[in-house]
Structure 1
Amino acid sequence: MGARSKARKRAVDVLYEADLRGVDPVSLLSERIGSPDVPPINDYTIALVEGVTAHRARIDQLITEHAEGWTLPRMPALDRAVLRLGLFELLWAADVPDAVAIDEAVELAKQLSTDDSPRFVNGVLGRIAGIAEHLRASLGSE
Structure 2
Amino acid sequence: MKPAARRRARECAVQALYSWQLSKNDISDVEYQFLAEQDVKDVDVPYFRELLSGVATNSAYLDGLMKPYLSRLLEELGQVEKAVLRIALFELSKRDDVPYKVAINEAIELAKNLRR
Give the TM-score normalised by the residue count of structure 1. Answer: 0.71
Deviation for aligned residue 1:73: 1.2
| 1:29 maps to 2:11 | no
Superposition RMSD in Å: 1.8
For residues 8-34 of structure 1, the C-alpha deviation after alignment (integer angstroms, 9 at most, x for no partner) is 10011100111122323333103334x
| 1:45 maps to 2:48 | yes
Q: What is aligned with 2:67?
A: 64
Larger Rg: 1
Preserved CA contact (<8 Å) 2:84 2:111 = yes
**Against the structure 1 CA distance between its residues 10 and 99, is the aligned structure 2 distance closer, same or farther, given a 3 Å change threshold?**
same
Q: Which moved more, 1:96-105 or 1:12-21?
A: 12-21
The aligned length equals 111
The answer for unaligned runs of 5 or more in structure 1 is 115-142
Find the aligned partners of 1:13 and 1:24 in 2 and give their Cα distance: 15
**Partner amino acid for 2:6?**
R
Q: What is aligned with 1:14?
A: 16
For residues 44-97 of structure 1, the C-alpha deviation after alignment (integer angstroms, 9 at most, x for no partner) is 100110111111110011111221x21111011110000000000011011100
Q: With a CA cutoff of 8 Å and minimum separation of 6, indicate the structure with the bigger relative contact order.
A: 2
Q: What is aligned with 1:133?
A: none
The answer for unaligned runs of 5 or more in structure 2 is none
What percent of counterpart residues are identical?
35
Q: What is aligned with 2:79?
A: 77
Find the aligned partners of 2:75 and 2:100 in 1 and give their Cα distance: 26
**Partner amino acid for 2:50?**
A
For residues 100-136 of structure 1, the C-alpha deviation after alignment (integer angstroms, 9 at most, x for no partner) is 000000100001038xxxxxxxxxxxxxxxxxxxxxx
Between structures 1 and 2, the one with greater helix share: 2
Find the aligned partners of 2:82 and 2:66 in 1 and give their Cα distance: 9
Preserved CA contact (<8 Å) 2:16 2:34 = no
**Partner amino acid for 2:38?**
V
